[in-house]
């Protein structure tokens, strides 16, 4: 009985440790924030439908890259840096598109 309990605890600990290596809370939080910025731009009319589609496509590519980074069970510092660069680029695009003077009709 004790062996079973110890085994379960070890498996649980291993699962927590493995998930900690693939956790990307900062990337996820930024994805949510940028999605909200795009949505708010569409609602306010600051983004045209075409601009919104393009920005959504960029966000989708970041999500795919995030999934690829997590696929092997470890997100390396290089992969995190790449995701951050992509999110920085998309953030600049969101800002520029929202402030370019084009409005949806």
**Would you state the structure tokens that stand for residue 98, as one six-digit string?**
């929202």
Q: What is the pLDDT of residue 66?
A: 95
Q: What is the pLDDT of residue 46?
A: 94
Helix (H, G, I), strand (E, B) or coil at 35: helix
Q: What is the pLDDT of residue 17?
A: 46
Low-confidence ranges of the chain (pLDDT < 50): 16-18
Q: What is the pLDDT of residue 7?
A: 55
Q: What is the pLDDT of residue 101?
A: 87
**Would you state the structure tokens that stand for residue 53, as one six-digit string?**
């589609």
**What's the chain's Rg over C-alpha atoms?**
19
State the virtual CA torsion across 11, 17, 19, 24 in degrees, nearest 10.
170
């Amino acid at each position: 009985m004790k062996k079973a309990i110890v085994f379960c605890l070890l498996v649980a600990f291993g699962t927590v440790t493995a998930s900690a290596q693939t956790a990307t809370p900062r990337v996820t939080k930024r994805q949510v924030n940028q999605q909200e910025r795009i949505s708010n731009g569409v609602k306010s009319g600051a983004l045209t439908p075409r601009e919104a589609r393009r920005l959504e496509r960029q966000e989708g590519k970041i999500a795919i890259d995030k999934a690829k980074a997590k696929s092997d069970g470890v997100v390396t510092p290089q992969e995190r840096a790449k995701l951050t660069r992509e999110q920085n680029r998309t953030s600049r695009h969101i800002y520029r598109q929202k402030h370019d003077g084009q409005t949806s009709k």
